[in-house]
Structure 1
Amino acid sequence: MRYFFELSYLGTAYHGWQKQPNAVSVQEKIEQVLKRLLQENIEIVGAGRTDAGVHAKQLFAHFDTEVCLNREELLYKMNSMLPKDIAVTRIFRVKTDAHARFDAISRSYEYQLAQRKDPFLIDQAYYLKQDLDVDKMNEAAGILKNYRNFKCFSKSRTDVKTYNCTIKSAEWKSTGELLVFHITADRFLRNMVRAIVGTLLEIGQKKNSVEDLHKIIKSEDRGRAGTSVPARGLFLTRIEYLNIEVD
């Protein structure tokens, strides 16, 4: 049987989602707990691979087991055993071929920018005190929806078959004392959101023009885009699926 679970985590203490040698990951912590609780080696597959220091307000992952689970009891025990910065929200059974990564139809991220120093946001927002032209940044963000190939925003050394993504929405909004970038797409490349934010900030600081964004995207050259902003301001916020639940 295949189960999905929904979780959230503060990524500050972790070297990203994906399990790896000589580094602590979110995936590793969850697999250790499931192994103890189910008394079998459990491998989980996540819907995405957040980088070191990136947070998730909503992430899904799946695992297989022959055990008919008491899901409420498992949920309680997992949360009791997991670190305080990782929480599981729910566990549900899905179709046997449902896949947390490949069946996701959209993913949404937010990037939080603080323009005044706030010690309580030190691990959850990027502090940038320069004045920004947010109207220009939003004008540039709208351009993203007109393109498909985003190689210019991808990490240079990455193994992907295509650099094509469909961006459904991209917008800056003021939320209290934060300036937050919201973006939704069918998929994202490694480092893509942080590179987009860095590029838009350069436009907001008038280092580049809105029209320059067309040239940057068409160049397919990572060196032409802006510097990636720090990971601490990035949150994976929503993942959507269609018709995967059994009960």
Structure 2
Amino acid sequence: MQRYFIELSYNGTGYHGWQIQPNALTVQQCLDTALSTYFRQIVTSLGCGRTDSGVHASQFYAHFDLQLEADQNPKDLSRSISGINSLLPYQIAVKRVFEVADTAHARFDATERAYQYHIHFHKDPFKLDRSWLFKGSLDVHVMNEAAKILFQYTDFSCFSKSNTQTFTNNCKITTAYFEEKEDGLVFTISADRFLRNMVRAIVGTLVRIGKNEITLAQFKEIIESKDRSSAGQSVPACGLYLVRVTYPFIQ
């Protein structure tokens, strides 16, 4: 058996997230079916993390183990990309497949992940299901001041879904800022790890600051409370993208 990493991207609209579920269509289900069909053996992938229903990924990694046929070159699977893509829905695209060490792990070896959240302010059919339409105005300056406060903390329990199976809610956030774009905003955040629903909850709380509903001092109190009910509502999934996953052995 040889282990491989696969890099892909997907539009999460219409999928119930990455991870296989018993009664819902997921990205992992589609990928495993395509891999199993193409390589003519049962292939089970393991992703670099979970994305919720409707969330997108411009960069996502998974690993899988494969028993190659005698006539297959284990060092070069580049020809397989077009074949795998032909078996996948148009919303899912494989970028590359490459050999890694048998101990390499798509989830546990990742050292950093980065997400972006997209907001637009005017109705645009080309942004449907790809960005959140916000009706109103936001104070971007104060939102960015609040985003800097995130660097002062490591426990983000207030932004996490309850009853998760994580042992700790500590994360080290290294980047967090809003950037103004044409007819919209893009929030970029990176960290060594993320909790379930964390980014959408952070954005929802920062939006409350941008609407002048809470102050910077209250934002600190929310984080220190470690209480999810104190933070803002989660923003819609359609605007969220996983954009980068970093590994020490991938350039």
The answer to whether TM tops 0.5 is yes
1:115-168: per-residue Cα shift (whole Å, max 9, x none)? Answer: 111111110111112111101000000000110000000011211100000000
Q: Is the deviation greater in 177-186 or in 60-69?
A: 60-69
Partner of 2:21: 20
Alpha-carbon separation, structure 1, partners of 2:111 and 2:218: 30
How far residue 176 of structure 1 moved from its aligned partner, in angstroms, is: 2.1
- Of the candidates 78, 88, 100, which is equivalent to residue 82 of structure 1? 88
Alpha-carbon separation, structure 1, partners of 2:204 and 2:147: 12
AA at the equivalent of 1:176 = E
Alpha-carbon separation, structure 1, partners of 2:188 and 2:201: 14
Alpha-carbon separation, structure 1, partners of 2:111 and 2:51: 17
How far residue 95 of structure 1 moved from its aligned partner, in angstroms, is: 1.0
**Structure 1 gaps, min length 5:** none
AA at the equivalent of 1:133 = D
AA at the equivalent of 2:44 = E
- Of the candidates 133, 137, 158, which is equivalent to residue 131 of structure 1? 137
What's the TM-score, normalizing by structure 1?
A: 0.97
Partner of 1:185: 191
AA at the equivalent of 1:91 = V
AA at the equivalent of 1:107 = R
Q: Secondary structure at the match of 2:13?
A: helix
**Structure 2 gaps, min length 5:** none
Partner of 2:208: 202
Q: Secondary structure at the match of 1:212?
A: helix
Matched, 1:226 2:227: no
- Kept after mapping to 2: 8 A contact 1:150/1:163: yes
1:152-195: per-residue Cα shift (whole Å, max 9, x none)? Answer: 00011211100000000100001222201000000000000000
AA at the equivalent of 2:56 = H
1:12-37: per-residue Cα shift (whole Å, max 9, x none)? Answer: 01000000100000000010011111
Alpha-carbon separation, structure 2, partners of 1:3 and 1:134: 42
How far residue 71 of structure 1 moved from its aligned partner, in angstroms, is: 0.9
Partner of 2:153: 147
AA at the equivalent of 2:105 = H
Q: Secondary structure at the match of 2:43?
A: coil
Q: Secondary structure at the match of 1:198?
A: helix
Matched, 1:175 2:181: yes
Partner of 1:48: 49
Q: How many pairs align?
A: 245
AA at the equivalent of 2:88 = L
Q: Secondary structure at the match of 2:149?
A: helix
Q: Secondary structure at the match of 1:72?
A: coil
Alpha-carbon separation, structure 2, partners of 1:21 and 1:233: 26
Q: Secondary structure at the match of 1:13?
A: coil
Structure-2 change in CA distance of 1:13 and 1:44 (3 Å):
same
Identity of aligned residues (%): 50
- Kept after mapping to 2: 8 A contact 1:2/1:96: yes
Alpha-carbon separation, structure 1, partners of 2:20 and 2:128: 26
Matched, 1:59 2:57: no
AA at the equivalent of 2:206 = L
How far residue 244 of structure 1 moved from its aligned partner, in angstroms, is: 5.7
- Kept after mapping to 2: 8 A contact 1:55/1:232: yes
Alpha-carbon separation, structure 2, partners of 1:128 and 1:244: 37
- Kept after mapping to 2: 8 A contact 1:123/1:233: yes
Q: Is the deviation greater in 168-177 or in 23-32?
A: 168-177
| Cα root mean square deviation, aligned | 1.1
Partner of 2:3: 2
Runs of 4+ in 1 over 3 A off after TM superposition: none
